[in-house]
Every structure is written in C-alpha cells, then in structure tokens.
Amino acid sequence: MTENPFFSESVLPYKLPPFDRIRDEDYVPAFERGMSDHLAEIDAIASNAEKPTFENTIVAMERAGQLLARVKAVFSNMKEAHSSDQIRDIDRAMAPRLAAHDDAIHMNPALFARVHSIYEERSDRGLEGEARRLVDHTHRVFVRAGALLSDEGKSRLRTLNTELASLLAAFSGNVLDERNASSVLVRDRSELAGLSDADVEQLASAARDAGQPEGYLIRISNTTGQEVLGSLENRALRKRIMEASLARGGRGGPFDNRALVLRIAEARAEAASLLGYESFAAYSVANQMAGTVGAIDGFLSQLAASSLAKAGREAADIQAAIDLERGGFALSAWDWSFYSERVRKARHSFDESLLTPYLELNRVLEGGLFFAAKRLYGITFRERNDLPVYHPDVRVFEVFEADGRPLALLLMDFYERSSKKGGAWMNAYVPQSFLLGTKAVVANHLNIPKPPAGQPTLLPFDQVITLFHEFGHALHGIFSHTTYPFLSGTNVPQDYAEFPSQIHEMWAVWPEVVKNYARHHRTGEPMPAEMLEKMLATRRFNMGFATTEYLRSALLDQAWHALRPGHLPGDVAEFEDTVFSRHGAGFPAVPPRYRSAYFAHAFSDDYAGRYYSYIWAEILVAESIEWFKRNGGFLRANGERLRASVLSRGDSVDPKLQFREFAGKDPEVGPLIRHRGLSQAGN
C-alpha cells in the first residue's frame, strides 16, 4: 500500500498536487488526519503558557493545518471540476464534519482570549501594515463565527452550521445532477435548422457519449439562457429548451431543490440573528466594500430603472422584427436571443456567428491572453506536459517574470463534461505566501463544448470574454506578493474580487489585442477590419437584456437573504414572482440569469447575499477603463501600476485604498451607466 499522497507535502514543482497518485479513497483518511492534526496544533496554541504574542498566536495559526489545507484545496475543486458519485458521497459526509471542525476552533474560548488580547493591544504592540491587517481580520473572523456568544448561543450556532453544511452539499450535488438530467435530446436533424454543420456534429458527439447514437444532445448550461437559442430556427424546440432550463430543480424528482432553498434561507436567517444581524444579507455584506444592505438596494434600484427601460426598448424592436416576419406571436423568453440577432443583423449589418471561425481557442490563448499579459506585465508562459493532471483535457503552464524568474503555475481546464459543474471559475491549489515559502498554483475552468476529435475549438465571442475574465482572477492569484496566506491572492471582499477579473475583459476587445488573436483558423488571415469594427461597435447591443437578467438574480439573492427568522415564504416560485413585482422587474421575456432552485451562487457557493458583487465591481471597472484610456491604454507602465496597486496586494491593504492608489479617485456610478449604454440615449 502506498502512503496517502496528502500526508506529506508535494515534491512536484511549485508543490503542485500529485494528481496522478490521488484516488477518491484518499480523501476521507486525509480529512480525518488533517482535522486531528490541526486541532492538536490549535490546542497547543491555545494552551501556550507564554503571554500571547503576534508570533506565537496569530502567525502560529497561519502555519497550522497544512495537511487539511492540502486536501481541502484539491477536494473542493474536484467536486466541481471532476466529480463522481463517490466524491459527492464524501462531500455529503465530510461537509458537516468540516463545519464542526471550524466551529471547534472559532468557538474555543482560550484561543479567542489570546486573539482578543492581541487585538486589543495591537497599537501598543506596534503592529502595522500587513501584520496589523491580519490581526484585525483574524479577530473579525472569530467574532463573526460566534466567539462572543453565550454557551447556549454557541451550541445553537454549531447545530445550524452543521445542518447548513449538509444542505449546501446536497443543493450543489442536485444542481449538477439536474443539469445533466435536463439535457434535451433531439431525434430529427431537421429540427436543428440554423445551426452550423460543426455545431450539429458536436451535438451528435455529445449524444453518442451519452449512449444515444441516433440523436443530438443539447446539454443545459448553468445559466437560464442557452447559447443555442440564438441560432435555432425551430420555435417549438427553442421553447422546449428554455422550459427545460427554467424547470431545473423545481419539477419534482430526486434533484428537486425547493425544500432545500427554503431551509437554507431559514437556517441562515436564524444564524445571522444569533450573531446580532438583522438578516443574513446584513451579515454577508458587513465585511464587504458595499458595507450595508441599504447601499446595495439603492444601487440595484438605480441600475434597475435604467436597465428595464433599455430592455423595454429592445423588446419593442424585437417584437417589430417578429411582426415584420408575420410571426403572429408575442415575444417570449425563448425568442429573445434568436430575434435579437435578427435585429442586430438588420441594424448593424452584422452577424456575430461570422466571428467564430476567427476565434480558435489556442490562438485566443496564445495571441490574446498571453500576448496581453506579456505586453502589460512582462510575464511569459511555457506549457508543461511533464506534470500530472486530474483529467486529460487539463493543460499546465509555467509562468515566468520578465527576467526569467519562475513565478507560478497555471492550470487551464477548458471543456465541459458531465462530471463538471456549469459556468466558469478560478481556484487556488497553492496560495502564494512568503511565510510558507510558496508560489501560486492556480487554475481556470470553463465549460466550452468539446468539438469532435480532430476539429478545432471555435469560440463564440462571449466565451472569449469569459476566458479573459477568469484569466484576470488567475493573475490576481499569480501576482500575489503577501506574507500571510490568509491575505493572499483572491482572499479579498467578494465585491472587490470581481474587479481584477472584469478589468481584464477590456483587453479582449482592445483593438491591438483583437487584431493579434482574431485570425481565421484555416487560413491564418486576420479578421477583416470591417467585421472587427462592427463587432466592437455592437458590444453594447442587447445590454438592457443582459443587465436586467443579471439584476433579477441579484435582487432574488438579496431578497432570500433579507428574510427574518419566522418570515419564510411557503412557495419558492411565488416568492420569486413577489420579489420581481415589488421591484418593478416583472419582465417574463427576460428571465433571471438563475432561478432559485439552480442558483448555486446563492445556495452553495460563497456569493450568498453577495451576487450583487459582479455589477458592484463593474463600477470600479468602468472607472478604470476611463483611466486606461486617459493614460495611453495598452502600455507596460499602466499594467505595472495595476499590478503594484491591486493585483499584488491581496487583502494586505484596504481595497478602497488600493483602488484609490490605482485610479487616483473614488469610484462613481456614472461611468458604469455610460459603459453599459444604459442612458436614455444609449444604443
């Protein structure tokens, strides 16, 4: 029997996890020993007879639990990137035990007494800079985890946390299973009119993989809207796909999430009340840039009015297009994507599908992401085929500074599969830390449909944007330059974490970058200048729809988590309708990006009460785009300023100060309205 690979630190470059040695059977023993070792280390810190100091308490806690950190880093991503029945069983079993483990640490009175002593005396002890911020954050974590509660309160909170961990694990597993179960099988090829031959072959390949050799399988993505709806001419099939998407998790059967949604909301409301907050939303946002629920509600309401007005004008244009073709029906959710493309073609003489042959994945990667990163930051990338991965599709790149010094490892997991959750995300397997002597090992994950063997991976432009977005998250981890892992990389307020990712989306449409990566996959010819100009000119097209579908989910997230104990609704769908009606956002032709029963951000991820973060961070992005344009744009000096002020800091400096140092001012909402084209005059 070989030793459990988690029991010792990886000897691979950058301490990359030894994926080739890790089996599902290794996780539980590693979790159990990791928790046991961690508690022993914590007990030693808490019972230390010496006077509490920053080094023997706060720093000692940062060093503790390395085995547990290793297994959590791998397992937490495997359950999302390459899950299995066994992994989901382990998750359901371990989630409540891990919650109890965290409670045992944060509700340890002797340990908190030491932390509190250092916190109270932090000025007298001369703690400054990153050390001072670590003390403040550590103390806040303990207080928010219940350290100040009575014994009775602690006991109740432990019970709720254990239950919530089980509920969240169940919700997450159901979302993946239901997404797979909701795939739409088409038997007749003629129903797929409007799709390219390559798209049809990809659907046939997916059907064969699913054991349906005679059909065409349309997999449902995690969002409500489905990419295929923009091309399918068959309205009945469009309706079938949209209804399958909207019904997920709320149609009965083993993966129904409605009861879980209600209980999660109720348990969170009670936990927040125990901790002295009016609601879980108030608890969730208290340590964010936004600060208060009122600030979020005011911001969302202000933006909703503009976006709904814009979406209304867009809907009128689409209905006119339907009527012009004598469609004889009113615009529905399954019509929007298809007919909005008709409007775009008519108004701008532009068909977005014509871009795809110029957007081949490897070219976008090398000529887009890596090209922009080298120009802005001087870094280079070299693929490593000698390092183990958890799936054959995963690629590994070593990252180097401009002077050749090794900087980090970047894993890229591009393709969708049935074992992978939907959407796109970044994670860190190893955080950068001078204390631990570690460089970053980070990963990007997307869900690009995999083409048949031998065919190129051609991307819709939205996937190009997603690549740049997730790459921004990766750079936030790669460039981290902090001492303590607690403050490293993307460990920042949620509504700030989306700023470094979204700011990198701008380079996907920066003319010099687009010209470098947008080349025909067969001929190598650059995208025609006219096509490029039209693409850039229509980036704001359909922005009313895009903003409204996002805001409807953000409002839903806030509403669920603003509930007080004992004031839970009885029906999920009715609650959704009430929320949208209350905010004047009842617009059936624009469904929310996520409905509650498949809203993983709200009910199984770290975005609960914080889904507003994407649009909040976009305020910072809009200001930053204007700063870049005022200061010469795509320049190394500008990239280095962003790296020094923001990307390298983690949470070692207040994010508000980071942004002010970069942009020279505090953000305002005006640039966001202009950036999204949501003014009355916006196109």
Q: Name residue 590's amino acid.
A: V
Per the listing, tokens 């639990």 go with 65
**Alpha helices per DSSP H over 184-292:** 197-209, 235-247, 258-274, 280-285
Element (H, E) at 381: strand 380-383
Separation between Cα atoms, residue 174 and residue 30, nearest integer Å: 26
Alpha carbon distance 429, 406 (integer Å): 17
What are the φ and ψ backbone dihedral angles of 458, each rounded to 5 degrees? -105, 130
Using CA atoms of 656, 659, 660, 662 in order, give the dihedral in degrees to the nearest 10. Answer: 160
Question: Which is catalytic among the residues 41, 270, 360, 470?
Answer: 470
Please confirm, yes or no, whether 278 is among the known catalytic residues. no
Tally of CA atoms within 13 A in the half-sphere of 569 that contains its CB = 18
Sheet holding 440-448, edge to edge: 380-383, 395-400, 406-415, 440-448, 425-430
Inter-CA distances, 178 with 172, 182, 248, 252, 254, Å = 10, 6, 6, 11, 9
Q: How far apart are CA 192 and CA 217, in angstroms?
A: 11
What is the distance between the alpha carbons of residues 658 and 660, in angstroms, rounded to a whole number? 5
Rg (CA), the chain: 25
Task: State the DSSP string of 403-450.
Answer: TS-EEEEEEEEEE--TTS-SS-EEEEEE--BTTTTB-EEEEEEEEEPP
Are 600 and 556 in contact by the 8 Å Cβ rule? The answer is no
What is the rounded CA–CA span in Å between residue 508 and residue 505? 5
Strands 406-415 vs 440-448: parallel, antiparallel or unpaired: parallel
| Cα 455 → chain centroid | 29
Q: Which residues are catalytic?
A: 470
